[in-house]
Amino acid sequence: MLEKIKENPLDYKGYLEYGKYLENVNLKQAYLTYENALFYCQDELVKIEIQNKLDEITYRQGKVEPASIVILSYNNRQLTQQCIESIRETTPESAREIVIVDNNSQDDSVEYLRQQDDIVLVENDFNAGFPGGCNIGIKASKKENDIFLLNNDTILCANSLYTLRMGLYEKDNYGAAGSVTNNASNNQTVIEDNLNINEYKKFGLKTNICEKNFEYNLMLIGFAILIKRQVLNIVGLLDEQFSPGNYEDDDYGLRVLKAGFQNVLVHNSFIIHLGGKSFISDARKQLMLNNNMKLKEKYHLKSEFDSSYYLHSDFSHAFFGNYVRKINEESRLLEVNCEMGAILTHLAYEHPNIDFYGLGQSIQCATISRHLEGVHIEHYFDIENNPFRTMKFDLIALDCSKFKKDELSKYLSVLKDMLSENGKLIVLAKNQSYYMNWYPIMQGETKSSLSLDTVYCKDIDEMMKKLDLKVESWTFYFGNISEEVKSKIEAIQNIVGENSKFLIESTAYILHK
């Protein structure tokens, strides 16, 4: 059914055929698809036919209002111009309103913008920052339109906005949608960041095909976020306490979830993100620290809370994500102390036939993550009385750095009992011999980093014997060590013997009954 679109994503015929199918499946997506067919069609008679279809769907209450594309401009006129031109080249006029908020540029940006007759221009005489500027742009947009917050350092590819809107309107409870790119965190990067613009456009042309390829996320990176108007009216504007920028997108994603809607990452909507043009690195680091503290205070989160609670973590994926590929489909997996469940949602996207469960000790985190589709996350006070206590799991993941040593026996005995007949327990523990535990003393400091409360590998070894748990295999995780220090540690290791494992920060054990 989508073969014609795949063969030629710029030909109206495939969209016309797909639109007819969607009329009986999803009327709003049918409207979007006919609108795209009209954009690509050059045959005047067929264009009349397509417009009649759009009018008919409008009469049937299936019309999707345009997206007001809100872009902030602050100097960098060439970037803004490039972004605007990509919008014009790739989207129908009927699908968008371009709203530019200039944050008091000192170059020729305003002069250029004043000459554009297809944009709504707001000229600030001060720099309102990112959240403040976006809010000004939202207020200047048409009140019925969806809102597409787009960085000026982006370039839309063919069908970028079309597939993003298709993703947003897949379900009624999808509140915000984000695109994949070449330069972003949160697992939204899908291609290396060293190609030229034409290579990215070719990639976008192949990627932006209207297949269902969505991932539930706790939040979406703010370089490109599409928000349904009805959701915006409920959730509200961006929080300006995060001005001039950073963490306002994190906050907004959590608010969307708390309101009962989903954030979806649309993997078949690719947008080029040039990135790194607006912030001075040192200033940005301090800004991120300050705004992270504001986010903690807003959600009453504990002091150690950081972005790993709700962003996809490469380390967490390496810890047990790679092992998930080895278990059977239709298995049941539990992550203990999963924070907000970021790694679980990503694994659920990669392995849709596995049931993913999570336990979290933070009431605030669980209040938000409980709304996530695709995973089952609950709060627990005591591992012995956790909500999933009577269930059996094929794989249970436990990071021992998230609780104290005196709780280890209780955790392992309970989790052993929760394993299915052939279930596995993957346990991550710190290496007591890791160089950071003793190297500071060699440098003249008075204390090592060893802690009486920390679970180390030797504690796992002792507890395995007591509980009759057996090691199937293990994986070493090496610390991030500078080359200068690494050579010194290796020299020491060569003297005392290779078994000391000074470069290994932690070990993951695969255990079974």
pLDDT tens sequence across 68-79:
999 999 999 999
480 vs 456, more confident:
456
pLDDT of residue 316: 63
pLDDT of residue 452: 87
pLDDT of residue 280: 56
pLDDT of residue 277: 46
Distance in angstroms (rounded) separating the CA atoms of residues 324 and 284? 36
Which residues face 512 on adjacent strands?
Answer: 424, 470
Lowest mean pLDDT, pick from 109-118, 123-132, 312-321, 491-500: 312-321
Confidence of residue 273 (pLDDT cuts 50, 70, 90): very high
Distance in angstroms (rounded) separating the CA atoms of residues 317 and 187? 11
Distance in angstroms (rounded) separating the CA atoms of residues 395 and 392? 9
The whole-number average pLDDT for the span 83-104 is 98
Tokens of 492: 């020491």
Which CA distances in Å does 405 have to 329, 426, 476?
34, 17, 20
pLDDT of residue 499: 62
Put simply, whether the predicted model's pTM sits higher than 0.75 gets the answer yes
**Whether the bond into 440 is cis, omega within 30 of 0:** no
Q: How many other C-beta atoms are found inside a 10 Å radius of the C-beta of residue 225?
A: 25
pLDDT in tens, 125-138: 999 999 999 999 99
pLDDT of residue 496: 77
pLDDT of residue 498: 62
Mean pLDDT of the chain: 91
pLDDT of residue 437: 85
Tokens of 189: 């990067």
Q: Give me the sign of the Cα torsion angle 320, 426, 364, 294.
A: negative
> Smallest Cα–Cα separation from 275: which of 223, 203, 341, 333?
223
pLDDT in tens, 337-376: 988 888 899 999 999 999 999 999 888 888 888 889 999 9
The whole-number average pLDDT for the span 173-190 is 94
Q: Could you write out the three-class secondary structure of 403-447?
A: CCHHHHHHHHHHHHHCEEEEEEEEEEEECCCCHHHCHHHHCCCCC
Domains and CATH numbers, the chain: 3-59 (no CATH), 67-297 (3.90.550.10), 308-512 (3.40.50.150)
Name residue, tokens 């499946």.
Answer: 25
Percent of the chain scoring above 90 in pLDDT: 71
pLDDT in tens, 285-341: 888 889 988 988 888 876 556 565 555 555 566 778 778 888 888 899 999 998 888
Which residues face 156 on adjacent strands?
Answer: 271
Confidence of residue 421 (pLDDT cuts 50, 70, 90): very high
Q: How many other C-beta atoms are found inside a 10 Å radius of the C-beta of residue 380?
A: 17
Confidence of residue 279 (pLDDT cuts 50, 70, 90): very low
The whole-number average pLDDT for the span 238-245 is 94
Confidence of residue 436 (pLDDT cuts 50, 70, 90): confident
